[in-house]
Amino acid sequence: MYEANIHYPLLSIITVVYNGRDEIENTIKSVINQTYPNIEYLIIDGNSTDGTLDIIKKYKKHLSFWVSENDNGIYDAMNKGIVNATGKWMNFMNCGDYFINENVCSRLYANDIDKDIIFIYGNHEIRLDNNSSKVYPKPLDQFWKGMPFCHQSLFVKADWMKDNLYNLKYTYASDFHHFYNAYNAGLNFLYKPITISNFAHDGISQTKFYWIEVWQISTNNYQSKFLIRNAYFVFFLAKILFKYFLKKIFTREIYAKIKRIKKGFF
């Protein structure tokens, strides 16, 4: 067992969910089974209709706060969690994602954290189907290309989060906007060589809409390098679109061939 920080700062773990009946229980268990002794757990549900609430109620004795109501998107729901949290540090472990093991929080806070540190981040595993692979954070000076670490593998000082709620102007990349601005402002990040979370490779950060917002945020913050950064994102988006259309064309050809085989024309 890890030698724990004698002060045990209160950690606020927040889960945002909407119609996540098949995944929410694994997320909940990964939080409530943490060996760290001072955690408050909050669940913000977007008025689910698929049975998610039955699972949340099953574990309500483990929850410090939960609510089920309509919201204006994931970042609005996350802001609700921030407002209602009372811990010193905050982490978002949203539905479908989970801590890599029960000792993660104990390892992260085994020693005192310097008071100037605002952000603590580590490694993560990315899950595709039934396979997972470890991913290490990218260098922070590459922040402009997208989040260098996984949001689920990030702990943030709660005071800072409460003073800096997510900007609802951004539907897909408000977290990138949030932490990219903090990096540019010179706030202190601490990397811990610990694998913190496992998350599914099918969230909003995997969509072209996310990358369009990242491009907008990045180029707005670095006007002096506008052309270089635009060229990078134009190339990146063109690559994504090329793969998308190639896949669609290839699929149609295969589908047509199968139909011809069925009709006896091949």
pLDDT for res 253:
54
Angle of helix 174-184 versus helix 208-221 axis, rounded to 10? 20
Give the C-alpha separation, 214 to 173, whole Å: 6
pLDDT for res 265:
41
DSSP per-residue letters across 161-206: HHHS---TT-SS-HHHHHHHHHHHTT-EEEEEEEEEEEEETTSGGG
pTM: predicted TM-score of the whole model, two decimal places: 0.80
pLDDT for res 3:
43
Judge whether 96 and 152 are in contact, CB under 8 Å: no
Instruction: Tell me which of 238 and 244 has the higher pLDDT.
Output: 238
Whether the per-residue pLDDT at 213 is higher than 70: the answer is yes
Give the C-alpha separation, 192 to 54, whole Å: 36
DSSP per-residue letters across 236-262: HHHHHHHHHHHHHHHHHHHHHHHHHHH
What confidence category does residue 218 fall into, taking pLDDT thresholds of 50, 70 and 90?
Answer: confident
In the chain, the amino acid numbered 135 is: V
Alpha carbon 139 to its chain centroid, in Å, reads: 18
Instruction: Give SS3 for 109.
Output: coil
pLDDT for res 33:
98
Query: The tokens of 93 are what?
Result: 């472990």
Instruction: Give SS3 for 19.
Output: coil
Judge whether 190 and 148 are in contact, CB under 8 Å: no
Secondary structure letter of residue 114 according to DSSP:
P
The mean pLDDT of 110-138, rounded to a whole number, is: 90
Tell me the per-residue pLDDT of 61-90, one tens digit each, with 9 for 90 and over: 999 999 999 999 999 999 999 999 999 999
